[in-house]
């Protein structure tokens, strides 16, 4: 049995809605095996982030080395990076890997909490240089200098349209040299429960690429998975709640046969 191995390099969300926690659930639901290198520990819930503790760079690299040397890697997803030092060290390590790399340039949480300082954002240039595809939301894209600036690094760009006002959302996939590969327009889902959508999208995209899908196929799957997860949000917390990665199901029940006699 072959299973795509997805290395997630990101921060931990104690509320479980975003970061490593959301990434693991996404990879699992899409048929992959998630390995992790945690870059930061955050104390957060649906209302915001109350504390951030960066993981020492040597521990981040040790996690990467441990899983890649034994389990291997078919794709990488990079999320919250923690510091400029970690960004440069991770870029150095990943240059040796021959697999797709999805970089989600996390700067601000859904709640509005800042997750990357100016020095770290500058260091994102190193990660965009090695990335196969970069997945910013519109405010993040503006902070990175716009579409042309990102594509100049030779990567693909998944331009997410959720932050633009209007009744519909337009998600676009661009190839280097500003070539529009495809776009998906869909009705906006009116809900506050969108915490972790960016993490989920990037993890889904990485899983698709690690599974052997083309970037277009992986993009379509990622958009669809995020929308289904939003529609199945469990309604937790008093702020921006997490999406429902299990898509309204209990996966064990689906396999085991929901409603069967447990003693049979």
- 198 as an active site residue: the answer is yes
Q: Which residues of the chain have pLDDT under 50?
A: 264
Give 146: exposed, middle or buried? Use CB within 10 Å, 0-12, 13-18, 19+. Answer: exposed
The one catalytic residue among 39, 197, 200, 207: 197
The total of other beta-carbon atoms located within 10 Å of residue 111's CB is: 17
The one catalytic residue among 11, 79, 199, 200: 199
CB 215 within 8 A of CB 176: no
pLDDT value at residue 217 = 98
The one catalytic residue among 11, 15, 82, 196: 196
The one catalytic residue among 15, 68, 160, 200: 160
pLDDT value at residue 115 = 77
The one catalytic residue among 17, 19, 198, 241: 198
pLDDT value at residue 166 = 84
- 155 as an active site residue: the answer is no
| 91-117 tens-digit pLDDT | 999 999 999 999 999 887 666 666 778
- 197 as an active site residue: the answer is yes
Entry pTM: 0.93
Q: Sign of torsion, CA 192 195 199 200? A: negative
pLDDT value at residue 117 = 81
pLDDT value at residue 118 = 84
- 160 as an active site residue: the answer is yes
């Amino acid at each position: 049995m072959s299973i795509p191995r997805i290395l997630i390099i990101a921060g931990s969300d104690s509320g479980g809605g975003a970061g490593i926690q959301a990434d693991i659930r996404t990879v699992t639901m899409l048929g992959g095996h998630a390995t992790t290198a945690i870059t930061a520990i955050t104390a957060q819930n649906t209302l915001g982030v109350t504390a951030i503790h960066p993981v020492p760079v040597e521990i981040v690299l040790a996690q990467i080395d441990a899983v890649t040397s034994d389990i291997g890697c078919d794709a990488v997803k990079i999320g919250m990076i923690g510091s400029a030092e970690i960004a440069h060290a991770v870029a150095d390590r990943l240059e040796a890997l021959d697999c797709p790399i999805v970089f989600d340039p996390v700067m601000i949480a859904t709640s509005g909490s800042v997750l990357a300082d100016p020095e770290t954002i500058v260091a994102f240039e190193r990660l965009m240089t090695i990335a196969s595809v970069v997945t910013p939301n519109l405010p993040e894209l503006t902070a990175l200098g716009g579409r042309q600036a990102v594509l100049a690094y030779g990567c693909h760009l998944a331009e997410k349209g959720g932050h633009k006002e209007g009744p519909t959302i337009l998600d676009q996939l661009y190839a280097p040299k500003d070539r529009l590969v495809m776009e998906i327009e869909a009705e906006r889902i009116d809900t506050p429960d969108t915490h972790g959508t960016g993490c989920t999208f990037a993890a889904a995209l990485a899983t698709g690429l690690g599974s052997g899908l083309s970037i277009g196929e992986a993009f379509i799957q990622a958009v669809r998975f995020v929308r289904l997860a939003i529609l199945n949000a469990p309604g937790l917390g008093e702020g921006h709640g997490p999406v429902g990665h299990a898509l309204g199901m209990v996966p064990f029940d689906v396999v085991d046969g929901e409603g069967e006699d447990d003693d049979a």
